[in-house]
């Protein structure tokens, strides 16, 4: 003997079955983004080797602005980084103000942007040397502390990766080799930056 299926059960199954076949409710555009215009402003944390100090790790902040559409963009960048090292006699602090004009070649792929950026300009190096235990020994003036400034020409070549996150906001990462002419000697180093960008 076959028992009849109540009409209410049939109605529930008819509604539930298509809903289960629809898959997850999270859509691919849950975090919509906009490609943006010609302007991009970015800033972030910078690390790398000091420009003139032969050892140590510089840390600081940097940022820049670029104009133009893919594949070619141009702009300007600035960064302020410092490094401190010590010897038996001296404590040395190097501060670098890096100023660059930039040109880059970039390619947009989906949410991402990949490219190479060449920067050329100058780095203002400020060095402070303080003799360890000098105050306790009664030293003053240049015997205790010295300061020096120098502007040196420099170039950077960086790889760039940017990812659209939401709206006009992006996450950016860049890094690569750098070179500066310090006291007629070519000093090689590297620099890297992790930050965010705004592209309205």
Q: How far apart are CA 165 and CA 171, in angstroms?
A: 7
- The answer for residues whose C-beta is within 8 angstroms of residue 71's C-beta and 6 or more apart is 105, 106, 107, 115
Specify the pLDDT at position 90: 72
Kindly report the three-state secondary structure assignment for every residue of 59-93: EEEEEEEEECCCCEEEEEEEEEEEEEEECCCEEEE
Q: What is the pLDDT of residues 145-176, one digit of tens each?
A: 778 889 999 999 999 999 999 999 999 999 99
Could you list the residue range(s) of the whole structural domain that residue 60 is in? Answer: 40-82+95-127+150-198
Domain assignment present for 173: yes
Asked if 63 and 98 touch (Cβ cutoff 8 Å), the reply is no
Asked if the structure places residue 88 within a domain, the reply is no
Within-domain flag for 190 = yes
Asked if the structure places residue 169 within a domain, the reply is yes
To which residue do tokens 């996150």 refer? 165
Per the CB < 8 A criterion, the answer to whether 40 and 198 are in contact is: yes
Q: What's the total number of domains in the chain?
A: 1
Is residue 3 domain-resident? no
Q: What are phi and psi of 14, to 5 degrees?
A: -65, -35
Q: Residue 155's domain is classified under what CATH number?
A: 2.40.160.20
Q: Is 77 domain-assigned?
A: yes
Q: Is residue 32 part of a domain?
A: no
Residue 113 lies in a domain: yes
CA–CA gap between residue 77 and residue 95 (Å, rounded): 17
Return the higher-pLDDT residue of 29 and 154: 154
| 113-153 confidence digits (pLDDT tens) | 999 999 999 999 998 877 775 655 566 666 667 788 899 99
């Amino acid at each position: 003997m076959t028992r009849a299926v109540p009409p209410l059960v049939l109605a529930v199954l008819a509604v539930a079955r298509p809903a289960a076949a629809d898959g997850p409710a999270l859509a691919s555009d849950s975090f919509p983004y906009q490609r943006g215009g010609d302007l991009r402003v970015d800033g972030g944390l910078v690390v790398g080797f000091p420009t003139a100090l032969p050892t140590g790790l510089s840390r600081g902040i940097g940022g820049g602005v670029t104009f133009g559409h893919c594949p070619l963009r141009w702009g300007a960048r600035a960064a302020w980084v410092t490094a401190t090292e010590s010897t038996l006699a001296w404590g040395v602090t190097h501060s670098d103000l890096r100023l660059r004009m930039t040109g880059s070649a970039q390619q947009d792929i989906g949410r991402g942007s990949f490219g190479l950026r060449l920067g050329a300009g100058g780095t203002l190096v400020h060095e402070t040397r303080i003799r360890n235990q000098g105050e306790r020994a009664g030293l003053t003036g240049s015997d205790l502390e010295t300061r020096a400034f120098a502007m040196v020409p420099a170039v950077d070549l960086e790889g760039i990766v940017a990812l659209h996150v939401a709206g006009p906001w992006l996450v950016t990462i860049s890094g690569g080799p750098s070179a500066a002419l310090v006291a007629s000697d070519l000093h090689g180093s590297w620099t890297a930056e992790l930050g965010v960008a705004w592209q309205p």
